[in-house]
Each structure stands twice: as C-alpha cells, then as structure tokens.
Structure 1
C-alpha cells in the first residue's frame, strides 16, 4: 500500500506531460467523422505583370513573356498599349462573350506570328484623344481560358481590379537624349533589351515609346513620333 501514492503521482505526471508539448495547447479540430478538419485556404494573389506592349517585332520579347503569364491561368495585368477607338469599335469579339473585344500582338519572330486576346472591353481604358493621348491601358485581374477557336488564343474574364501604379513618365519625358540613345541601341542590339528596360520600366509610356522607336528604326530606318505620343498628356 505504501507504493500507491508514488503510482498516483506518476500517473498524474504522465497526464500532465501528455497535454504539454512545450508549444502551447493542442488546437487541432476534427469534423463529424473524427478526422482533422480542413482549414480554409486563401489563394495568393498573382504578381502583377506590368509591361508596355504593342505591334513590335524584332526588338520586343514582351509578347512571349505575356503568354508565359497567361499560361498560369489567373493573371494580374497592367499593360500600356497603343490602341485607338477605331480598333476597338471594329474588332469583332470572335469566340468571346458579349461586351468583349479582341487585341492582337506580334511575337518577335515575324509579322505573321501574333497573339490574339479576347478581353472585356470594360477593362480597356482608351487614351483621351482630346489630349492627343494615343496610349491606352489594360488593367485588372483575370481568369484565363485557352480558346479552341482559330481567331483567338485566350479568353480573359475580369475578376478584380489592379491599382494604378505611380510612374516616372513625366520626369522621363525630359530625357530626350537618353531616349534617342536607348532606342538606337535597342534597334541595333535586341540583346540589350533587359538592360535598357531597367532604366524605363517605371515609366510605362516612355518604355513603350523607346520600344516603338527602336522598332521603327529597325524596320524602316527612321524615327517615329512615339515620344511625342507618350508625352502628349504632359504638355500644357
């Protein structure tokens, strides 16, 4: 009988240690079957793909980068584009829902190889013609479905908004010498793309102008008025 107190003490110690792991109380919950309950999960927001993109060929790999993003299924886009009202009004939404339009972009391999997106027209903000603004934006989060039709590669359905980013375009519009130098460099050396992009990436309008001008030099041997288009909204 004299050993009973020791056994009781040992049992008490075992119970205490069983409920004490050193990391706090066990908060595991179970469902009706006794299995651990599934905790709700939240899908991470996709990283915003910000790019200036257009009908450029030999000097611009951005279309291929866009396709890689679209292939992930859910995307957040902030694209600066050269799109006019006429293009939107005359584009038929083939294989897309009502209220949608088609946009198309060249790959850098050649003019017969291009990407076509069907997008909600509401996600496209057309530049203000009264301010001589020829640049537009496609901004938002989208679910993406590959299209089985021959006229459209992907159909985008808007699922949310992407806040407008702060840019340095107005300041960069004063860097004409750097603009000309980088456009000429990019026209002659497409491999310099990543290095040149670092300087202009926070200025999507001017980055569009650099690429458009490089394209014009490479394809036609002359400068375009792309810088004037990009900077028109900052002219009093």
Structure 2
C-alpha cells in the first residue's frame, strides 16, 4: 500500500507525541510529515504544501481548529478532529463525512477514524466534500442560535437567547446569562460582536446587550435589564437605540 502523508496539530506536545506513537504502531503506512503546536505555523504549512491527512485539535490558543481551516482557500486533505468535547458540533461532523476522535484517544476509535480517512484518500474523493466542510465551519462559528465560547476549561455552546449582556474588559469578555451564571472568555468583545445575531446591540464600547432583555431606559444614560442589571449606554448610541423602538 502507498504511504499517506499526515500533519498533526495540537498545542500540547504530550498529545502530539502520544498520537504519533499510536499512529506508528497502528498505521505504519501513515507518514508524519510534521507536527505543529502553533496554529499560525500550521496554516502557513498547509497553504504551501497540503498533506493527505490532518489531525486537528479543536481548542487551541489564539486560533481554534475551525478557524485554522477557515483561513485556507482550498482544503485538499482529509481532516480528523481530535477533541475533548463530544457535544453540539460532533453530530454535524459525522453527517458531513468529517471524522473525529475524543481525548483521551481510544485505539479502536482511532482505527475507525483513520480507516475511514484512508478509504476516502484511496478513492480520491470529490472536492465537494471539502467545500461542505468550509461552509459547515463557517455556519458553526456564526450560528444564529448558539455562540461558541472558548473558556479556560474548554468550550461552551451557549444559546443566544440565554445571554443577557456581554461585558468587555482587558481583552476578555464576561458573558452574563439569564441563569445568573457568568462565563469568562478569552475572545474580546469585538469578536463576539461579529458572531451575534441582530437581537443584540452595542450600547457602549464595553457592553453589548440583548435587546429582548431590556426592561427600562433611563434618560441619564443607563439600560435596565430583566435581571435588574444597570448597563451604561453611551451618548453616541442613545439615538440609535431609541430609533430601534420607533
């Protein structure tokens, strides 16, 4: 059998070494071309010389696995996601012929995923599947019903209807939920502004509110939400806010 060239992308060196060892024992035909801990370096390598197969961690600093792929114009390789999270997007991956393995990696799960990828590679699968991948990732990131929130502990998938308001500070974002829970994300406020649906309004440079949660407008420059939070609204945004209710 011909060899298959592969690249491994994960920010943790222990994960890279562990996966490389497993592949060496289970799939000697898979040749590891390179491994990357920095997603930016991986993007450059994939743009210049794409392999047959990529093992891609979802949650990484600065850029997650979705964003790595979204920066590639063409995707001419098979992708196996390596993730600690089995909710939300996983079923979508399966339905679109994208495979995954969960951490810690089980040998049987790895065999299933890799054999599936090898079958596609050998039959030279149509590139339409790769375009479906890009579309899926774009929809996942900008989904109108949920937002993906990278956190210190992993990744949360929050229905936008549960978000009361978002508060930016020091490059981070504090997300206040209707459940009275607060989530801290490494994404800045501007990043979330691009992902939220039109039910949200940036009332201040440090605050985005859910319009459906506004209970009262105070002339002195504050909005009162359903949970009685008092959110400042800048003078420049007052007129735009009031226009929404005419």
TM-score by length of 1: 0.24
The higher radius of gyration belongs to 1
Structure scoring higher RCO (CA < 8 A, sep ≥ 6) equals 1
Report which of the two has the higher share of strand.
Answer: 2
TM-score by length of 2: 0.23
